[in-house]
Amino acid sequence: MMEVKAFIENYKEAFGEAAELPLGFWYSDERIGITEKTGGCFFKAMKDVRAGRMISLNAEVIGCGGGKFYTGFTEMPEFVPEFVSLKEKYKKTPEMVVDYVKALKVPSASRQYLHFDRIDCVDCFDELEGILFLAGPDMLSGLVTWAYFDNNREDAVVAAFGSGCSTITQAVVENRKGGDRTFLGFFDPSVRPWFESGILSFIIPMSRFRVMCGTMRDSCLFGTHAWGKIRERMNG
């Protein structure tokens, strides 16, 4: 497993200096970052993380009932199925919302805080649940191709329905079972206003990231003509 500094060096070599650094997220019992309560979607606070300021979230800080639930700090609020179906119209019926949540199997948070920090501000990978990349189409082409480099399964990259915060849930569940799926996200219209129009999320759970770090330099991201052209375009 690469050290953080070595990964950043390889990442910058692969994607170029213009590539935005990814974010790490993990749980602990210590409030490390200072975060004011967020009304609505907690992803609005990611602008601080992208600028290099850690945030620490819990049930008191997260203003959205769905966000509290998907991060494991509360049970699902009773209003959520009807809200998601009848108000947001993301699912045809409230019953479909209930079925979706049951299948997701959201784990209860066993620690008090969920932290997000930019990867260059993280000391080591040991406690992380996953790595969150914010990427446009060119960068996503590299990330997705890298994820499939040593994995022929159709679900090596998953683009599942869900709120922005449910992508964190998916990564946590995958990491804790030692899985190898990665996750495309930010398709939820409710999360999109907090990011640029050309940005989606790509999350690699740590269980998969540890393996992918070992394949990075062997993949198309290094020494290929095709990726070299994309890298050049990304870095203008």
Starting at the earlier edge strand, list the strands of the sheet with 113-118.
55-57, 113-118, 23-28, 130-135, 200-205, 182-185, 157-158
pTM: 0.95
Q: Looking at residue 104, what is its pLDDT?
A: 92
pLDDT single digits (tens) 98-132: 999 999 999 999 999 999 999 999 999 999 999 99
Q: What is the pLDDT of residues 136-192, one digit of tens each?
A: 999 999 999 999 999 999 999 999 889 999 999 999 999 999 999 999 999 999 999
Digit-coded pLDDT (tens) for 52-95: 999 999 999 999 999 999 999 999 999 999 999 999 999 999 99
pLDDT confidence of 207, banded at 50, 70, 90? very high
Local confidence band at 37 (pLDDT 50, 70, 90 cut-offs): confident
CA quadruple 15, 185, 159, 76: dihedral, nearest 10: 150
Long-range contacts (CB closer than 8 Å, 24 or more residues apart) made by 231-234: 231/14, 231/15, 231/16, 231/142, 233/138, 234/15, 234/16, 234/18, 234/19, 234/138, 234/139
Q: Which of 156, 233, 154 is nearest to 202 (CA)?
A: 156
The amino acid at 125: F
